[in-house]
Amino acid sequence: MENTTDDYKIQSFDLDTQMLLKTALKDPSSVNLVKVSNVIVDQSLKDQVFSKEAGRICYTIVQAEAKQNNGSVFRRNMLNRLQQEFKNREAMRGRSLQEWVCYVTFICNVFNYLKVNNMPMVALVHPVYDCLIRLAQPDALMKEEEVDCLVLQLHRIGEQLEKVNSPRMDELFFLLRDGFLLQEGLTSMARLLLLEILEFRAGGWLLSGTAHKYYYSEIAD
């Protein structure tokens, strides 16, 4: 079944931009794809709902462009923008925690959707790990928004990431385990989320039914 444009969460854009994105999804060669990639990145950095879905719209435009004229203008510009923002990530985090969390969500979402020959894009593996490892540092573990973001991304892409580079996943989980065991001042919610993700990976990226019930009833409370 084809996605409708409503599925891509583009309702938050003004009408002209919605039209631009709708056209890019169906007929990419007829629009300015550099502008399209910038619009998607800019919105992802300020809209948490869109940042969780933007990988799908990127995937669809990449596929449509490749099919139409074997082009990669959109993908190249999207990756360039991700790289630029990545270089400025500490300044971004200092300026706005929400923007930083949106960026991590977006780059992980793009990693999840954009594949080359059904494999994750190599260019994104280390930047994604670097972002997640930043979220596992002691100052970030003190902020529930960052812990929440980290755990959500690991639920979505942890297994894929481990397959392409398991030593870095070990490095990340050493930090999480030490944070859980040794760090003082964590909120009870942050502690619960960390314990859940430690168990999730230990169970082969699965939670038993009992554990799921326990964690999610705790979170609901």
Alpha carbon separation from 122 to 34, 150, 163, 190 (Å, rounded): 22, 20, 12, 31
Residues 121 and 215 in one domain: yes
Asked whether the predicted pLDDT for residue 47 surpasses 50, the reply is: yes
Domain boundary among 95, 128, 151: 95
Instruction: Tally the domains of the chain.
Output: 2
144 and 74 share one domain: no
pLDDT in tens, 167-194: 999 999 999 999 999 999 999 999 999 9
Residues 128, 216 within the same domain: yes
Q: Is residue 151 part of a domain?
A: yes
Residue 56 placed within a domain: yes
Q: Are residues 88 and 135 in the same domain?
A: no
On whether both 215 and 141 belong to a single domain, the answer is: yes
Tell me: do 91 and 153 sit in the same domain.
no
Residues 6+ apart with CB under 8 A from 24: 31, 33, 36, 61, 64, 74
**Residue 1 confidence (pLDDT):** 36
In this structure, is residue 148 part of a structural domain? Answer: yes
Show the domain range for 27: 13-95
Q: Which pTM does this prediction carry?
A: 0.91
Q: Which of 38, 60, 95 is the endpoint of a domain?
A: 95
Whether residue 108 lies inside any domain: the answer is: no
In a domain, 82, yes or no: yes
Average pLDDT over residues 123-141: 97
pLDDT tens column, 93-131: 999 999 999 999 999 999 999 988 888 899 999 999 999
Q: What is the CATH number of the domain that holds 154?
A: 1.25.40.180
**Could you tell me if 76 and 20 lie in one domain?**
yes
Tell me: do 144 and 182 sit in the same domain: yes
**Residue 2: inside a domain, yes or no?**
no
Query: Is 4 inside a domain boundary?
Result: no
Diameter of the chain measured on Cα atoms:
56
Both 30 and 67 in one domain: the answer is yes
> Does residue 210 share a domain with residue 127?
yes
- Indicate whether 58 belongs to any domain: yes
In this structure, which long-range contacts are made by residues 191-199, counting pairs with CB atoms below 8 Å and at least 24 apart in sequence?
192/218, 192/219, 193/147, 193/148, 193/151, 194/141, 194/147, 194/151, 196/151, 197/150, 197/151, 197/154, 197/155, 198/173
Q: Is residue 83 located within the same domain as residue 123?
A: no
Same domain, 79 and 29: yes
Closest CA to 8 of 57, 60, 75, 72: 57
